[in-house]
Amino acid sequence: MRYSRSSLNSKIRILFLNPPHPLKDALVSQRQIPISLLSAIKGVAKLSKVEIMILDLTCKNDMKKIDSVLSNFSPILCGITTMTYNYISTVKLINYLKSKHPRLKIIVGGIHANIAKEEIFDTSLADYICIGEGEDVLKEFVLNDLQADGLDGIMSRDEKGNVNFRRTENIDDIPPYELIDINNYRDTFFPLLTQRGCVFKCAFCSMGRNLVRFRTEKSVLEELNYLYRNGIRNIFISDDTFNLNLRRAKSLLEKIIKEYGNYFNLMVNLRGNSIDSELAKLLKSAGCKRAFIGVESGSNKILEIIEKGEKTEEMAAGIKELIKRGIETSCSFIIGLPGETSKTVLETIKYAIKLNPDIAVFNVFIPFPGTPIYEDEKKYGIRIHDKKWYLKGVPEKPIVSTADLNPKEIQHHVAMCYKKFYNRQK
Ligand code: B12
Ligand code: SF4
């Protein structure tokens, strides 16, 4: 982002930061358009009295750059987005900013700020937390001379109290891509969100039980057109479940095919039990290169415990359709969920091999704060050995025991899953 000296005098300058991934070697693989930030600032970016700079530290974790921005750009407000995984990096970043500029006001938003709001002020030096969606409230906060009182959606350190979750009225605006240098991201997949929220309630997930809202087809197509005009071909439809509404998903794909054929290289997250042959065909025609499916387990008993709302047989039918059409299929499993035993792990491996996707990822179960499993270990029959893992970084080893398996055994099972799956006879 460029800035000119002349404009610095009159404007309210705000610096937005995407924190680095806590694991150094994840720097490149995690680089992605900072879509949460670009969404949060849609409103404030329209204000003529505001000057914005975005630094994506997943691109380059460059403290010298921050120093230079602090002295040359002199922001009065800094906004940081945070997830649970990178909360530790966020805390370090805030401490650094405050040590250099104690008077700089800092607002934190994003999924973890909402999940752990009570804790954010205790564990960091942040001044404000955005509760909910940032689009409208951030703009109002700036127009209100950075006063949070009376604003739903912003909690301040001085006046904690109950603040209502804020939802934005309009989810159709295109993210202000002009505020970042998209050339830094040409080798990644550009996120395209066509909807928000999720009706399902998987007990391990931070996103479930959330009001669902769909963008208009017109606005989705406008965003695609913007990306097309800027020479972007790789697009990740990042909706949690693109086929949440099957009819809508098909209609969108038809429009994409009509307009662009298979020009785009699409990636997409799908729900296994809601894929039919028509959807698979349309995805293929629209240029879908890879589909991600959260399968989680090969045991119907575990799927029931985690309230997945779909069965192995149903998912298998959907995944078969994708494979039939030659779409690269990536299935993700979680090992160590409540109810996991050596027997259920074997069921998962057998199931994964039977599905025969191109890619299978076997994740260790890490409980996220705010999710049903994290909040009620007893009900789910597990023990979380380190509940505050996110204050230390990303756990390198499993931190959960089920009734039957300890963390060491879970780790051993994950390794075995990979070995058996990738050594399978095709
Ligand atoms: C795209 C995406 C990614 C992208 C880019 C991430 C990004 N945000 O820039 C990539 C691929 C890098 C990614 C990686 C990961 N992701 Co991800 N990702 C998503 C996804 C699908 C969409 C994010 C998004 O744009 N949402 C839409 C926007 C509008 O919502 P939002 O992010 O909540 O932002 C709004 C508000 O929170 C607020 N806000 C956000 N930031 C700020 C900042 C300020 C200053 C203010 C005022 C307001 C504000 O305003 C925004 C606009 O309304 C979400 C699921 C989801 N639907 O949100 C998962 C999700 C965020 N990811 C998740 C996870 C687990 C991961 C990984 C850990 C996966 C892994 N095992 O590697 C990594 C971690 C990366 C890291 N750096 O730590 C979890 C996070 C759970 C948690 N408690 O933290 C989610 C919720 C998925 C899920 N179903 O559980 N992810
Ligand atoms: S895992 Fe996917 S389907 Fe389940 S609640 Fe989360 S976002 Fe919804």
Q: Distance, CA 279 to ligand 2 centroid (Å)? A: 20
Question: What would the mean pLDDT of 104-113 be, rounded to a whole number?
Answer: 97
Residue from 33, 44, 111, 136 to probe ligand 1 pocket by mutation (most atoms less than 8 Å from CB): 111
Annotate 127-162 with b (16+ C-beta within 10 A) or e (fewer): bbbbbbbbbbbbbbbbeeebebeebebbbbeeeeee
3-state secondary structure of 292: strand
Q: Which of 85, 170, 223, 361 gets mutated to test ligand 1 (max ligand atoms within 8 A of its CB)?
A: 85
The span from the CA of 115 to the CA of 131, in Å, is 9
CA distance 330 to 290: 7
Q: Is the CB of 110 under 6 A from ligand 1?
A: yes
Share of the chain above pLDDT 90, in %: 87
Q: Which domains does the chain have, with CATH numbers?
A: 12-156 (3.40.50.280), 189-422 (3.80.30.20)
The Å distance, Cα 388 to ligand 1 centre, comes to: 20
d(CA 368, CA 375): 9
Alpha carbon 406 to chain centroid, angstroms: 29
369-398 tens-digit pLDDT: 999 999 999 999 999 999 999 999 889 899
State the ligand closest to the CA atom of 202: 2
CA 197–ligand 2 middle distance (angstroms): 9
Closest ligand 1 atom to residue 368 Cα is 83
**Using a 6 Å cutoff on CB, does residue 205 contact ligand 2?**
yes
Decide if pLDDT at 32 tops 90: no
| 277-306 mean pLDDT | 98
Lowest mean pLDDT among 153-162, 188-197, 216-225, 319-328: 153-162
Question: Which residue would you say has higher pLDDT here, 233 or 207?
Answer: 233
- Least confident residue range of 147-156, 219-228, 288-297: 147-156
Is pTM, for the whole model, over 0.85? Answer: yes
Which of 196, 199, 202, 368 best tests ligand 2's pocket when mutated (most atoms within 8 Å of CB)?
Answer: 202
Q: How far apart are CA 81 and CA 109, in angstroms?
A: 5
Encode pLDDT of 74-102 as tens digits. 999 999 999 999 999 999 999 999 999 99
**Do 22 and 85 meet the contact criterion of CB atoms below 8 Å apart?**
yes
Tell whether the model's pLDDT for residue 2 goes beyond 50: no
DSSP per-residue codes, 168-197: -S---SPP-GGGS-GGGGTTSPEEE--EEE
CA of 228 to the centre of ligand 2 (A): 30
Number of the ligand 2 atom closest to the C-alpha atom of 209: 5
Q: Tell me the one-letter amino acid at 62.
A: D
345-374 pLDDT, tens per residue? 999 999 999 999 999 999 999 999 999 999
Which of 2-16, 113-127, 299-313, 363-377 has the weakest average pLDDT?
2-16
Q: Which of 131-135, 237-241, 305-309, 390-394 has the lowest average pLDDT?
A: 390-394
Cα 83 to ligand 1 centre (Å): 6
| Mean pLDDT, residues 6-21 taken together | 82
pLDDT at residue 4 in the model: 40
DSSP 8-state assignment for residue 165:
-
Flag whether pLDDT at 6 surpasses 80.
Answer: no
pLDDT at 31 over 80: no
* 367, 384 Cβ separation under 8 angstroms: yes
Provide the pLDDT confidence category of residue 161 given band limits of 50, 70 and 90: confident
> Which residue, 196, 195, 402, is CA-closest to 297?
402
Contacts of 220 (CB under 8 A, 6+ apart): 192, 194, 252
Span 49-73, pLDDT tens digits: 999 999 999 877 778 889 999 999 9
Q: Band of the pLDDT at 30, cuts 50, 70, 90?
A: low
Average confidence (pLDDT) over 313-321: 98
Which residue's alpha carbon is at the smallest distance from atom 77 of ligand 1?
A: 21
- Ligand 2 site, residue 90, Cβ cutoff 6 A: no
- Least confident span in 38-42, 44-48, 193-197, 207-211: 207-211
Which structure tokens are listed for 192? 């395209």
Q: What is the mean pLDDT of residues 220-238?
A: 97
Ligand 2 contact, 198 CB (< 6 A): yes
Query: How far is 23 from 20, CA to CA, in rounded Å?
Result: 8
Distance 422 CA to ligand 2 centre (A): 27
What pLDDT is stored for residue 64 in this prediction?
85
Q: Is 36 in the pocket of ligand 1 (CB under 6 A)?
A: yes
